[in-house]
Amino acid sequence: MLPSTVPDTLEMLTDDVGLPRLCNFLITLHLPRAGARDTMQELARHIRE
């Protein structure tokens, strides 16, 4: 998990707490070739960065 995505009110757990590691995951976002709303395009841009 990217540390920049964790709010200040939460704490990232490290390996020494004894919990099993979660598997990696990817997000795949498919936009239509035409007609995508501005909000959809902005979300896609945010995820890519």
Joined tokens for residue 31: 């936009």
Check residue 22 and give its pLDDT: 84
Check residue 9 and give its pLDDT: 94
Give the burial string for 6-37 (b: 16+ CB within 10 Å, else e): eeeeeeeeeeeeeeeeeeeeeeeeeeeeeeee
CB 47, CB 27: distance < 8 Å: yes
H-helix or E-strand containing 41? Answer: helix 38-48
Check residue 18 and give its pLDDT: 92
What tens digit of pLDDT does each residue of 10-48 get?
988 888 999 998 888 887 878 888 888 899 888 888 888
Check residue 1 and give its pLDDT: 57
Check residue 19 and give its pLDDT: 93
One-letter identity of residue 17: V
